[in-house]
Amino acid sequence: MTRKAPAEDPGDARLRVGPPKDYAAGIPAVTSSLRHAGTQMGARRGLLTLLRVNQKDGFDCPGCAWPEPEHRHRAEFCENGAKAVAEEATLRRVTPEFFAGHSLEELAGRSDYWLGQQGRLTHPMYRPAGSDQYRPISWEDAFAVLARELAALDHPDQAAFYTSGRASNEAAFVYQLFVRMLGTNNLPDCSNMCHESSGSALVETIGIGKGSVSLEDLYEAELILVVGQNPGTNHPRMLSALERAKQRGARVIAVNPLPEAGLLRFKNPQRPSGLVGGGAQLADLFLQIRLGGDQALFQAFNRLLLEAEDDAPGSVLDTSFITSHTHGFEALAEHARKTSWEDVLEATGLSEDEIRAAFREVLAAEKIVVCWAMGLTQHRHSVPTIRDVVNFLLLRGNIGRPGAGLCPVRGHSNVQGDRTMGIYEKPGEDFLDALGAEFGFEPPRHHGHDAVETIRAMRDGRVKVFVGLGGNFVAAAPDTEVTEQALRGCRLTVQISTKLNRSHAITGEQALILPCLGRTEADLRPSGPQLVTVEDSMGMVHLSRGRLAPASDHLRSEVEIICGMARATLGARAATSAVPARRVPWEEFEADYDRIRDRIARVIPGFEEFNDRVRRPGGFTLPHPPRDERRFTTATGRANFTVNPLDILRVPEGRLLLQTLRSHDQYNTTIYGLDDRYRGIHQGRRVLFVHEDDLAARGLADGDLVDIVSEYEDGVERRAPGFRTVAFPTPRGCCAAYFPETNVLVPLDSTAAISNTPTSKSVVVRLEPAAGV
């Protein structure tokens, strides 16, 4: 399977490659955000909008899920948050006239960058069966199309309802309610492709799938490990927190195959010194690890901890915590002692000296926080890796006390909240009981499809209707060719979206585009302006309120759209259902979101008096038993040590491991621009970062054009043609390229054990000189 570069990709005639930067933010970041805001929004409107980001009476930044410090600076926005806002507040519009002038076939040939640059969707649009074009449709007719196709299914499990992590709590709650009343748990979400491995590992070991630290803990930590994460680009405000922790004496270790700018040095644009000074040195130690080597690293730390305890009994491990709060220590200890240095050095590509130097930092620190993101979650052994991180922290009682803990850094700004609201294909019995009791129906109990299973089910004709609440499923999912075929095989695909993207171009027989308000926009309902709520990466819930005039008069809020879908679809069904549902007041819900929050308060623990508490300054923090009271709601009632066989990613002779990651100028599948400044890339995206010796070993040199060919046990050859090689400081045997261009290379069946997350950070590839060159 080959995926050609889109026609107008610069391809990259204008591509320039310079040296990578060793610091993040500072003056270029500030000028870049203002420039971006200026071109998209008009300079004055741009500045006014940015001033509202994350302010008390403003909207939650749609950029990332990093929490807000309590004392907000006027204008605490970061460069990439500014780009996310500009992208949504753009003055460009995709109107019915636009669709009249562009066939689906033409749109499918365009790049993600081009599609996103066309602007905001303005009208509901419908692609009838047999047509190659969208045409306008009224909202009521659009809902009727959906209701008709859902009613035509043999079973509700033949529909799947995807969610991307920007949906508010209120939208997510009514969405899952609608889907479960329909009769299915097919609620795949972006989390399935993102932090699912973290959730899987944490629920089992500590009883809750969320991180255990607050910002205050981070400031208080003595050692912070930043593992498999590129905060300078993806969570820029985290750099301010790291800087603050360092000022209080914390040490920072970065574990990453790439020397990411933000991990090395940081110039804080919020402070005058950041604009002029040399910037703060962030990482005290940089472990340039091989892809997938982290499990071995933490197993080595665990072995060294046990040995240090042997040398000085009673001084290293937190024996009283282990005795009173954990389960399975003996088995873990026995396993950890057998960890082989040979394996560790092979898996990590590090030297024993480097690991011992890092371990000295570990031993010197009373309070340790481990932060991680996609570098840990998107491998086949991600769940065991994160379990070994938990083992590491448990050994010294580093969970559930100030300054210490687990910090999975979430991606989308409300991805954590959506899961709390019940967007999950494997809901717990307690949740279903509460939901069913509140609304008087019997929710489906059998588990639904996650993202990968949804693709398989569409491919095999078992799912025929696909609905996307935000996101860009076709571009974000693995195995692009397979996913495209899967979606094309549907009877109907529906996208609730703010902006044009590939998922509007690659559709089922029929397709609907339902355009919605974004976070920045005022949501005016008959009862007054509506507020929504979100939950950040550290379990804090707060309000978000948009102020801008909507991009078009025809837009509806996500809540309104979902309630409309529910009314059109469930109206006829309620009477025939075995357990007649109590009438759900969808009209009240869409008229006044307080009424939705009243229900959330009754169904979901931790949301008592939701409407009151969320209106207090700063909102409120959800309970987290391990963090709050060292209580672990696992099967054993304790925090579980786990024994995990070491997995080493070996590749056949002559092959490389490819990681697919984000450039500085993109938000997942939304491409803001064609630069990746910190890595020295300008005006192009089809680049492949490879070690110069690996290039030389293949008779290649920096600047050569290659095809990347992925090899997998299913025997299918997947090819991404025409990438310019860039000699780069990555470990030997490991290479890197941007997603979504390389998603064609990620095999659908190559997923993490247990979490079923695509292995987007370890794809076995070979390089071939580009055909026709």
Ligand X SMILES: Nc1nc2c(c(=O)[nH]1)N[C@H]1C(S)=C(S)[C@@H](COP(=O)(O)OP(=O)(O)OC[C@H]3O[C@@H](n4cnc5c(=O)[nH]c(N)nc54)[C@H](O)[C@@H]3O)O[C@H]1N2
CB of residue 432 to ligand X, shortest distance in Å: 25
Nearer to ligand X, 326 or 416 (CB): 416
Which of Mo ion, ligand X, none does residue 289 bind to, with CB < 5 to 8 Å depending on kind? ligand X
- SS3 sequence, 526-595? CCEECCEEEECCCCEEEEECCCECCCCCCCECHHHHHHHHHHHHHHHHCCCCCCCCCCCCHHHHHHCHHH
Question: Considering only CA atoms, which of 209, 239, 641 is closest in space to residue 406?
Answer: 209
Is residue 539 within 8 A of residue 562, CB to CB? The reply is no
3-state helix, strand, coil in the chain (%, to 5): 40, 20, 45
Q: Which option in Mo ion, ligand X, none does residue 662 bind, with CB closer than 5 to 8 A by kind?
A: ligand X
406 touches 203 (CB < 8 A): no
- Please tell me the distance from the alpha carbon of residue 636 to that of residue 206, in angstroms, as a whole number: 10
DSSP element (H, E) containing 255: strand 251-255
Minimum CB–partner distance for residue 386 and Mo ion (Å): 15
| Residue number, 12 or 260, with CB nearest to Mo ion | 260
Taking the complex as a whole, the smallest distance from the CB of residue 275 to ligand X amounts, in Å, to: 21
Report how far residue 601's alpha carbon sits from residue 599's, in angstroms, rounded to the nearest whole number: 5
Residue 510 interacting entry, from Mo ion, ligand X, none, C-beta within 5 to 8 Å by type: none
* One-letter amino acid for residue 387 of the chain: R
Dihedral over alpha carbons 550, 493, 113, 22 (to 10 degrees): 90
Contact 190, 165 (CB under 8 A): yes
What is the C-alpha to C-alpha distance for residues 203 and 435, in angstroms, rounded to an integer? 21
Amino acid at 385: T
User: Side-chain half-sphere of 309: how many Cα atoms within 13 Å?
Assistant: 16
Question: Is 116 or 411 the residue whose CB approaches Mo ion more closely?
Answer: 411
Residues found near Mo ion in the complex (CB under 5 A): 194, 411
In the complex with ligand X, the residue whose CB is nearer, 212 or 414, is 414
CA dist., res. 746 & res. 67, Å (int):
32
26 binds, among Mo ion, ligand X, none (CB under 5 to 8 A by kind): none
Closer to ligand X by CB, 581 or 716: give it: 716
| End-to-end Cα, the chain, rounded Å | 20
Q: Residue 596 half-sphere exposure, CB side, CA atoms within 13 Å? A: 27
The string of DSSP letters for 691-742 reads: -HHHHHHTT--TT-EEEEEEE-TT--EEEEEEEEEEE-S--TTEEEEETTTT
Judged by CB, which is closer to Mo ion: 194, or 369? 194
Minimum Å distance from CB 555 to ligand X?
11
Residues forming beta bridges with residue 266, ordered by sequence position:
24, 280
Q: How far is the CB of 481 from Mo ion (least distance, A)?
A: 22
| Of 207 and 209, CB closest to Mo ion | 209
- The nearest distance, CB 412 to Mo ion, in angstroms, is 6
* Residue 228 or 684 with smaller CB distance to ligand X: 228
Tell me 73's DSSP state: P
Smallest gap from Cβ 12 to Mo ion, in A, equals 26
Enumerate binding residues for ligand X (CB under 6 A): 63-64, 80, 164, 166, 190, 193-194, 227-230, 233-235, 255-258, 260, 289, 291-292, 294, 373-375, 411-412, 469-473, 476, 496-499, 501, 516, 518-519, 558, 659-662, 666-670, 739, 743, 746, 760-761
CA-based nearest residue to 255, from 300, 225, 211, 291 = 225
CB under 5 to 8 A by kind: which of Mo ion, ligand X, none does 160 bind?
A: none
Output 194 or 253, the one with its CB closest to Mo ion.
194
Spatial separation of the C-alpha atoms in residues 627 and 179, rounded to whole Å: 33
Cβ closest to ligand X, residue 235 vs residue 335: 235
The phi, psi pair for 110, rounded to 5°, reads -85, 160
User: Judged by CB, which is closer to Mo ion: 282, or 409?
Assistant: 409
Contacted entry of ligand X, Mo ion, none for residue 256, CB cut-off 5 to 8 Å set by kind: ligand X
Give whichever of 186 and 669 is closer to Mo ion, judged by the CB atom: 669
Shortest spacing between CB 538 and ligand X, in angstroms? 15
Kindly state the smallest distance separating residue 560's Cβ from Mo ion, in Å. Answer: 26
The CB-of-335 to ligand X minimum distance in angstroms stands at: 22
**Smallest separation (angstroms) from ligand X to the CB of 263:** 8
Contact 701, 17 (CB under 8 A): no
Element (H, E) at 437: helix 429-439
Pick between residue 601 and residue 744 the one whose CB is nearest to ligand X.
744
Q: Determine the Cα–Cα distance for residues 131 and 152; give it in Å rounded to an integer.
A: 21
Q: Sign of dihedral through CA atoms 355, 357, 363, 364?
A: negative
Identify which of 328, 350, 330 has the alpha carbon closest to the alpha carbon of residue 341. 350
Question: Nearer Cβ to Mo ion, position 229 or 302?
Answer: 229
Residue 464 φ then ψ, to 5°: -120, -15
- Minimum CB distance to ligand X, residue 411 (Å): 2
Cβ at position 370, least distance to ligand X in Å: 11
Round to whole Å and give the CA distance between 660 and 666: 13
The nearer residue to Mo ion, 411 or 680, going by C-beta atoms, is 411
The span from the CA of 642 to the CA of 298, in Å, is: 13
Whole-number Å distance between alpha carbons of 475 and 453 = 16
Select from Mo ion, ligand X, none the partner in contact with residue 455, using the beta carbon and a kind-dependent cut-off of 5 to 8 Å: none
Provide the minimum distance between the beta carbon of 152 and Mo ion in the complex, in angstroms, as a whole number.
34
Distances (CA, A) of 181 to 139, 156, 186, 574: 22, 10, 12, 9
Residue 764 C-beta: closest distance to ligand X, Å: 14
Is residue 513 within 8 A of residue 556, CB to CB? The reply is no
Q: Closer to ligand X by CB, 410 or 724: give it.
A: 410
Contact of residue 667 among ligand X, Mo ion, none (CB under 5-8 Å per partner type): ligand X
Closest CB 194 distance from Mo ion, rounded Å = 3
CB-nearest residue to Mo ion: 411
